[in-house]
Structure 1
C-alpha cells in the first residue's frame, strides 16, 4: 500500500498546522506548529509513500532520509542553535508509534530544558520498566 487517504503523513497539506520545510524525491521534512511550544524546532522525516514502519522503507527512501536529515540539521543549527539532538524511530504500538506511517523524529535539544541530559534510553532503562517474567 503506497497511500492511505486518512493518514496525516500521506496528506501533509490537509493539516494547516503541518509545514513542509524540505522535500526530495521520496521524503518530506515536516514541522507541526502545535509541537513547537515544548519541542522547539522539532520535526519528522517521512516517506511520501505510505510505509507503516521503518523496516518497510526502500533503499532510496533510506538515502533520501539521510539527505533530509543533514539538510534539517543545517537548517535547525542556523535557526535555533541547539546544543544537541535526539533522533529516532518508534516502531509498533508498544514503542509508542501512534501514527502508523514511518516517521523519523528530529528533536533539537537545549542545555536549559528541564530534561537536558535525558535521551531515548533514559525512559526505558528505569527499574520500573523491567519486564515481569
Structure 2
C-alpha cells in the first residue's frame, strides 16, 4: 500500500534491523523501543488490523512472535515479555498495518508502566458480567 511504513519496510524500501524474514512475515527491531529488544512482527502483505488479516497469516505472525519472544528471552533474560497487538486509534494503533509488538520487560518496569494500568482495574460482580458474556458469546457463535 502506498505510503505505508511497514509495507515499505517489508519491500526493503525503508531500512530496518531485520531479525527474521520469510515469504509471509518479517520481524524487526522497533526503531522507537520501549525496552531493549522491543521488536515488531508484521505480515508482508498489507492488512489494516486484526479484522482484516486472514487466519493463516495471523497464525504465522503469532508463530514468529513466539520465536522472537523466545530468542529475546534466551539472549537478554527479561523478567517478562508482553505480546501486544493494537487495533484502532483508541487502542493505540499508530501505523495502520497489522503488527504485533514483542516487548521485553525488565525488573522495575512493571511498577512504572503496567502497574498504573493495573491500579485502575476493579472487580466486577458476575451480575454485570453475565449479560456481556451472553451478547459476546452469541455473536461469536454466529461468526464461527
- Normalised-by-shorter TM-score class: 0.7 to 0.9
After TM superposition, give the deviation of residue 66 of structure 1 in Å: 2.3
Structure 2 residue ranges without an equivalent (≥5): 123-144
Structure 1 residue ranges without an equivalent (≥5): 128-133
After TM superposition, give the deviation of residue 59 of structure 1 in Å: 1.4
Give the TM-score normalised by the residue count of structure 1.
Answer: 0.76
After TM superposition, give the deviation of residue 86 of structure 1 in Å: 1.4
Whether the 8 Å contact between 1:24 and 1:64 is mirrored in structure 2 is no
Which stretches of structure 1, 4 residues or more, deviate above 4 A after TM superposition? none
In the alignment, the residues of structure 2 paired with residue 124 and residue 15 of structure 1 have an alpha-carbon distance, to the nearest angstrom, of 39
Q: 1:6 aligns with which of 3, 7, 18?
A: 3
Change (3 A) 1:124 1:95: farther
Whether the 8 Å contact between 1:31 and 1:42 is mirrored in structure 2 is yes
In the alignment, the residues of structure 1 paired with residue 95 and residue 62 of structure 2 have an alpha-carbon distance, to the nearest angstrom, of 21
After TM superposition, give the deviation of residue 126 of structure 1 in Å: 6.6
Partner of 1:131: none
Change (3 A) 1:125 1:56: farther
Please identify the structure whose Cα radius of gyration is greater.
Answer: 2
Whether the 8 Å contact between 2:65 and 2:100 is mirrored in structure 1 is no
Give the TM-score normalised by the residue count of structure 2.
Answer: 0.71
After TM superposition, give the deviation of residue 11 of structure 1 in Å: 1.3
Partner of 2:101: 105
Higher strand share: 1
Which residues of 2 match residues 69-88 of structure 1 at below 5 A?
Answer: 69-88=65-84
Higher helix share: 2
Partner of 1:25: 23
